[in-house]
């Protein structure tokens, strides 16, 4: 969501359009742009509900002031973060995203459910106000219709774009990336990129148990690199330090260097339980990797038919995932080749292309409304 919002802001600023940005953190390049006005909202640590209310309040105040001064100004909000009657760009649908926090402390599970109820309520209220709803995939569009009750005529799908510098990895770059991560140059590398908090929605638990099964067999020679932070990370790190998996798993924690991490890999695995899109899969493909992703993720809509083997069933078990990983290990180059056409098509659509399409859709919507 942050990457997409930043791309839209950059496109508008490059087009000479003044932009107000409201967020908990705003990149310095926007703060320094003379056409940009940043409104940084405090995020009290440990109080996510309060942070969301502060964001909504500031967003509403900035929108009201800006539109009063410039009646033709457009306001873009995300999901339930601000109830404003203009453009709502949805990157996830809380009503379709169940809490998955088995094993978390009781107080955390209680808080997660309370926050989810509040998020669903705010999402429904905000989307009822919206004049135009932008979905990042048709899967998101369906969820908005079926779970939130948004009328189909108010929704348009605009797919995400790509950074042109995130191109296919060459042999020299791959070797350098593996050296930086202290990975063997000649072993297959499997990647996971996603949160590891109390919510296990991203599915690392499934990959982890699958990995334990594979390494216990004594016939598995791949390395696993996991990028992501959260409450469960310490437990998985401790587990990786003992048993058959020791030495085959690297936990990076949070890292902003995902482009370089992808350069070291051969396969990205994303066994998500819910995913409105899946930018990690998108970017891995752009970097020339093979992927595995749950078939209900929005990004799957953009994969060619040749990539059916990459699709994981909803609710996949560790044993089933281990079988799929064995299949990939026996044909690493074939998986990469069959992903090449999809990768080329994704790389051909830039973040600028995405932003231009979104602006065009917004303009057309206003013209229809005033006709």
Q: Provide the 8-state DSSP code for 350.
A: B
Tell me if 217 sits within 8 A of 184, measured CB to CB. Answer: no
Alpha-carbon distance 270 to 48, whole Å?
A: 26
Tell me if 101 sits within 8 A of 109, measured CB to CB. Answer: yes
Residue 369 has pLDDT above 90, yes or no: no
What confidence tens digit (pLDDT) does each residue in 258-305 have?
A: 999 999 999 999 999 999 999 999 999 999 999 999 999 999 999 999
Domain parsing of the chain, residue ranges:
2-161+350-370, 171-347
- Look at residue 243 in the predicted model and tell me its pLDDT: 77
Tell me if 2 sits within 8 A of 81, measured CB to CB. Answer: no
Mean pLDDT for the stretch of residues 65-89: 96
The number of residues in the chain equals 371
Mean pLDDT for the stretch of residues 60-75: 96
CB-based burial, 290-307: b 16+ in 10 Å, e otherwise: bbbbbebbbbbebbeeeb
- Look at residue 366 in the predicted model and tell me its pLDDT: 85
pLDDT classification of 371: cutoffs 50, 70, 90: low
Question: Strands, E, within the chain: which ranges?
Answer: 19-23, 36-40, 76-77, 87-90, 132-135, 155-157, 189-193, 223-227, 249-253, 267-270, 290-294, 311-312
- Look at residue 300 in the predicted model and tell me its pLDDT: 98
Residue 53 has pLDDT above 70, yes or no: yes
- Look at residue 245 in the predicted model and tell me its pLDDT: 80
Which residue matches tokens 């105040």?
A: 61
pLDDT classification of 46: cutoffs 50, 70, 90: confident
Instruction: Please tell me the CATH code under which domain 2-161+350-370 is placed.
Output: 3.40.50.2000
- Look at residue 338 in the predicted model and tell me its pLDDT: 97
Residues in a beta bridge with 21: 38
CATH architecture of the domain with residue range 171-347: 3-Layer(aba) Sandwich (3.40)
Residue 356 has pLDDT above 70, yes or no: yes
Alpha-carbon distance 320 to 90, whole Å?
A: 32
Do 2-161+350-370 and 171-347 share a fold? yes
- Look at residue 367 in the predicted model and tell me its pLDDT: 81
Tell me if 274 sits within 8 A of 283, measured CB to CB. Answer: no
Alpha-carbon distance 191 to 284, whole Å?
A: 9
Q: Nearest 5 degrees, angle CA 199-CA 81-CA 95?
A: 50
What confidence tens digit (pLDDT) does each residue in 337-351 have?
A: 999 999 999 999 999
Query: In the chain, what is the straight-line distance between the N-terminal and C-terminal CA atoms, in Å?
Result: 32
Alpha-carbon distance 98 to 116, whole Å?
A: 8
Q: Is 83 helix (H, G, I), strand (E, B) or coil?
A: coil
């Amino acid at each position: 969501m942050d990457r997409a919002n930043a791309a839209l802001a950059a496109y508008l600023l490059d087009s000479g359009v003044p932009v107000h940005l409201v967020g908990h953190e705003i990149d310095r390049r926007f703060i320094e742009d003379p056409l940009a006005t940043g409104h940084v909202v405090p995020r009290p640590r440990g109080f996510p509900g309060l942070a969301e209310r502060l964001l909504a309040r500031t967003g509403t105040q900035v929108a009201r002031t800006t539109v009063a001064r410039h009646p033709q100004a457009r306001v873009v909000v995300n999901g339930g973060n601000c109830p404003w009657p203009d453009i709502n760009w949805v990157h996830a649908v809380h009503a379709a995203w169940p809490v998955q926090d088995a094993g978390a402390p009781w107080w955390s599970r209680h808080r997660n459910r309370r926050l989810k109820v509040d998020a669903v309520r705010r999402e429904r209220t905000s989307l009822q106000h919206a004049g135009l709803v932008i979905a990042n995939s048709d899967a998101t569009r369906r969820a908005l219709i079926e779970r939130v009750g948004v009328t189909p005529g108010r929704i348009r799908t605009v797919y995400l774009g790509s950074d042109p510098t995130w191109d296919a990895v060459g042999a020299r770059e791959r070797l350098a990336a593996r050296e930086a991560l202290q990975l063997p140059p000649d072993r297959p590398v499997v990647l996971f990129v996603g949160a590891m908090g109390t919510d296990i929605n991203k599915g690392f638990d499934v990959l982890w148990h699958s990995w334990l099964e594979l390494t216990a067999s004594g016939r598995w020679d791949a390395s696993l690199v996991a990028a992501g932070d959260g409450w469960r990370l310490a437990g998985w790190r401790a587990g990786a330090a003992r048993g058959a998996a020791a030495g085959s798993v690297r936990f990076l924690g949070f890292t902003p260097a995902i482009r370089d991490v992808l350069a070291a890999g051969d396969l990205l695995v994303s066994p998500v339980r819910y995913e409105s899109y899946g930018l990690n899969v998108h970017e891995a493909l752009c970097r020339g990797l093979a992927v595995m992703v749950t078939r209900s993720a929005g990004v799957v809509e953009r994969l060619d038919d040749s990539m059916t083997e990459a699709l994981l069933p909803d609710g996949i078990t560790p044993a089933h995932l281990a079988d799929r990983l064995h299949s990939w290990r026996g044909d690493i180059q074939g998986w990469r080749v069959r992903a090449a056409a999809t990768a080329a098509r994704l790389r051909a659509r830039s973040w600028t292309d995405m932003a231009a399409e979104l602006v065009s859709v917004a303009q057309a919507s206003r013209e229809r409304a005033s006709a």
